[in-house]
Structure 1
């Protein structure tokens, strides 16, 4: 029981910290969660983290909250889920509450506007890093079906302009077919 309380406290502090200092949306927090829970704490394996991220991306809602749900549940069940979700939503809630109080002063402030514009470049770099790391993992494992799916999704989104929802649904269907295909002896991809 004592060990679970320590894990929950560490989970709360970690997810609170990540959420408080993550600017740019959910994809940024995914990279930081990987560094914290896979690389630093070794609570989750890298491949399992990729699976958790895929689940978080596929579920409706904010990816940061979805990521907290799946990581929290993996680490400590329902208590972990509740802990991680509260820790994830608390910093943005507090920041938005403070900003709403001072909205009139921030709205037309040139300095605030320039700071936010500069943060956009940093966010783009972090998102590019996430994509690079996830793609590199798939390429290094040489899972050819996964590489083909990744390339197809990239082409469909960037060149053909196909809606992301359609791409996600097609990828889910391919993943289900791959998983439940009868007569499969091992993973050929």
Structure 2
């Protein structure tokens, strides 16, 4: 009697995503992100969308945010419109966008008036310098967390492309449009080749 074959490996189940958000939920969620987003909303957007509400997986967030880099305008604004429209159409995009920009516009208008009057105070300048340092730390933290899916999957090619773009822009100071014109076709070609080889 032939020995029993070993049981097939069961793939790890994906983290279940939450139900699509309503228009009100989109507005409130992005309003909270914008109010917490000192130094940039990206940190809080990823935390709220992926970790807290589970509206997207980490991979989906990275792919959507990468797409928004290639669209004209601020990346996080593009992401907000794409994200809201994905779940609730144009109305969802408007709701998310309104939540993102509405509260900060009101706050920055008030702070601008106060800064115009008290901006020469040395203590205030030191406080703003400290806020700038904290913003850099938050940005580094979110970049590391966005890279984790590539590290977990041991995506060597993706990490190499990531490192090459960082060196080209961050260290060599090459123009961003030039780097993107080179990096985008290479990334698409590599992805197409690897998926085609995987299905062969």
Residue in structure 1 matched with residue 154 of structure 2 by the alignment: 142
What is the RMSD computed on CA atoms of the aligned residues? 2.5
Offset of residue 163 of structure 1? 1.8
**Structure having the larger proportion of residues in helix:** 1
Offset of residue 180 of structure 1? 4.8
1:121-157 CA-partner distances (Å, limit 9, x unpaired): 1101101101211223212211222122112112212
Change (3 A) 1:187 1:125: farther
Distance 1:18 1:111 in 2: 28
Change (3 A) 1:110 1:140: same
Offset of residue 76 of structure 1? 1.8
Residue in structure 1 matched with residue 100 of structure 2 by the alignment: 88
Q: 1:115 aligns with which of 106, 127, 148?
A: 127
Change (3 A) 1:87 1:144: same
Output the TM-score relative to the length of structure 1.
Answer: 0.84
Residue in structure 2 matched with residue 12 of structure 1 by the alignment: 27
Output the TM-score relative to the length of structure 2.
Answer: 0.80
- SS of the counterpart of 2:56? coil
Which runs of 5 or more residues in structure 1 are unaligned? Answer: none
1:102-134 CA-partner distances (Å, limit 9, x unpaired): 343132122322221110111011011012112
Residue in structure 2 matched with residue 73 of structure 1 by the alignment: 85
